[in-house]
Amino acid sequence: MRVVVVGAGAWGTAFARVLRDGGHDTFVAHRASIDEAPYEEADVVALAVPSHAFREVLGHVRGRAAVLSLAKGLDPESGERLSTLVRDRPVAVLSGPNMAEEIADNLPSATVIASDDHALAERLQEAITSPVFRVYVQDDVIGVELCGAAKNVIALAAGGVDGLGLGDNAKAALITRGLAEMARLGEACGAAPDTFSGLAGMGDLMVTCFHPSGRNRRAGELIARGATPDEARAAIGQVVEGLTTAPVLRDLSHRIGVELPITEGVCSVLGGTPLGELAASLMGRRPTAE
């Protein structure tokens, strides 16, 4: 395949390496070369950009190549899933427990590609799968994208648990209830339930909440220790998707009438509520069935 990877950050660079190791003709476009990339010659354009930049970058993509979204978030402008912005060409989304530094180190990983175009998903699966990067396919684009967005918000809360020193029992409980929250949102939006127990759901949620260098977990930990969201973002020095996604996800839940208590709490903390108050309010919620 001929692939243009837009985004020269850690994830875009690591994914480009997977492609090159597989023998594909790969061009990596960074910010300064977005307009100069050979889109018309590409079979696939992979967008490894922050969610807030996805719409703008997509507007630069010429030609008819299929789009593979590597982004994990929602469109801040409309609150919609990012793949819905792609209207003039085939689109697929890739998501899973894929920490960029481990993929760059050639450590084994697995992921899922979802598309309404099953032939496209299978074509990408065949092209990308390698002995250390295993690709599964499915057609639940809604679920895969919502998992990719929501898990970052839950990871902020999980990092807060670490920062407050509340222990592994509390962290495991929060992650488990976070997964239930993600599945509840997905069900209301028409996602398949099984997606949330798969790689894009439980798999990505676990690694994002536990990996020491996970940006969202680290940001939550820093905020719990007294940093402002802007200070946490600056300390990490890279995009922290959960900080952008949390209010967008909250607003989506309000529009469709789904209760997301962890997401609501994260938004409150980002707005200035002490994290200790959030922990107390979550523990003090009315008892209910699991």
Catalytic residue numbers, as ranges? 151
**What DSSP string describes the chain?**
-EEEEE--SHHHHHHHHHHHHTT-EEEEE-GGGGGGS-GGG-SEEEE-S-HHHHHHHHTT--SS-EEEE---SB-TTT--BGGGG--SS-EEEEESS--HHHHHTT--EEEEEE-S-HHHHHHHHHHH-BTTEEEEEES-HHHHHHHHHHHHHHHHHHHHHHHHT--HHHHHHHHHHHHHHHHHHHHHHT--GGGGGSIIIIIHHHHHHH-TT-HHHHHHHHHHTT--HHHHHHHH-S--HHHHHHHHHHHHHHHHT---HHHHHHHHHHTT--HHHHHHHHHTSPP---
User: Cα angle at 14 between 8 and 20, to 5 degrees?
Assistant: 100
Distance CA 225, CA 248 (A): 25
Q: What is the DSSP letter of 201?
A: I
DSSP reduced 3-state for 137: strand
The interaxial angle of helices 215-224 and 229-236, nearest 10 deg, is 130
Cβ-contact 74, 249 below 8 angstroms:
yes
